[in-house]
Structure 1
Amino acid sequence: MGKIYGKTNDSDDTIAQTTINSIGTLLLTDIPSLMIGTDSTNGEFDIGVIALGDDEGDTGVNQSTATAQGTVTMANVKAEVQSIVRVGVIDISSSLEGGITVPSSATTSNAFGTLTLQSLSLDSPSVEVGMVAANHEGTANGSLELNPSYLKADQLIVSEGDRVILNVNGPTRASPGNLGSDGLYAAIDADNVMLAGEVVIRVNYQPAPGDSETINLLNANNITIDPSASVLIEGLASGIRLTNPSVVAADSGSRYQAVLSAADPRPVPALGLWQLAVLALLIAGLGGGLQRRR
């Protein structure tokens, strides 16, 4: 089960004037332990991915049109991927077997991938959301949603125009040990992170009036925020505020965090008559003192 659903993967010797379409939908629920692949050479979890080139055994590409669309929802699953998770990716090698080079306009492809994780723990060496090979003209869109779930990866890349959606359902950071509990928010731990797309934070929780919570969305040794990256905050109720997330130094590496707070609805006490009288006397006395100094 190393390559599943929504994957266009042609291994013919020559790909010439063909149209390849692959559409897949997968729902996985209530699996205590799911292993995808047996080692780093075959453990690929591809959702809406087009892959043509070296590792597919192709020796030529000519005027090929490919469309891959994959939608995967995983709920109440503990999953481990041995190699890579790719969501909405076009991967076409520029140098195919036999030394043939693929021109940039050789193919016209579209890849669309959506991966939704619900109360799930996912562990993978690499996670790529929405990437197009440099030698290729095509469109790739990827969306990864943690609702709320826990993701651990050596490398996480969210490309420009793609998105990662993080749900905040409470004040407690998700972890492999507390998934399924109430009051969690999505969490990611990684070594290296590149954010060039859109980070969507969906707030489904309200702190107590006057309280604030630090939401630690991402821990990583190295976090790179590209200028093209953006943040969209959804679901804030009246009186609830979430700061834009920022990268802050931590004991080990960095954190990408925000502060969620609720306004205190209690009104400022009004001054009584005697308090107003005392204030008036103080102001009058201050005015008289200034006149004497003149």
Structure 2
Amino acid sequence: MRKLFVLLTMSLLVVAASAQKFSWPPKSYPMKVPFAVSEEVKYYWDVQGVLCTGRGNGGYKFRVLGTANHDFTVSRSINFYYISTGNKTTVAGAYYFPKVKEGQQFSFEIVSAFAGYTPAGFQVFYIHDEMLSIPKEEKETKTIGNIQQKDADRAYYDSIRIVDSIAAVEAAEAEMAAERAARVVTAPKYPGGTKALYTFLQENMRKPQIAIETAGYGTTTIEFIVTSDGTVTGANYKRRCNERVDKEVMRLVNMLEGWIPATKGGQPCNAVVQVSMSIFPSFKASAQFVRVVQ
């Protein structure tokens, strides 16, 4: 533990400025989370960003991303710690880091920050594992001059890493935003909206009187596709009432023209819609968007 706190003192200097701007819990997602990484972990996994991406499993989801500095041939459980006001340390959990090849980018998700377990003053993630070590040959330096040069190089490269970390996090945020936008779906819309649709059906309905007098109770449901250019195609029955009522509802559905098509990721696409109608004893109608068609 003494070694841990020595490392904490050194590593927290890197994130002290950003930690002051960090507020928990998040007000929006994704949110950059300040972090510090021990030299042993950084030797293999150069963590360049930690993002809180939302709630999950009673806690919060975090995405850890970066680039491998050296090969690591197995998945490894690595400890995370919460650092709160006054550099107080609380265990956040142990999470598996992936096996990597030098130069390989990595990105994986963890779930942490559970209610009742996370310090209210949570400011920084500290990533460290007491059992992980840097190979002996990597620690050896031949002269004082080499040690000084190595320290100077580390300071220089650490300054570059901070800039690269910001770029990596911003790139990840942009990628996540693009993925969310690509998943956004809007339903097709009848011109004038649902009320206009129901008005059209009611005003153009021709009551099949004989069918009503015999077996006109019930609802007819028809499923159809609104294409990417707003036309109706592929209408078929999902629920029937009786032959004449069913035919009348089908006739009306095939008259529904000029839809505003559904979109996925901002692009028009085909979509499945259902319209239900009952004619007797009074007119009732409903419509629902079912799904987009790939």
- TM class by shorter chain equals under 0.3
TM-score normalised to structure 1 length: 0.22
Larger helix percent: 2
Structure number, greater radius of gyration: 2
Larger strand percent: 1
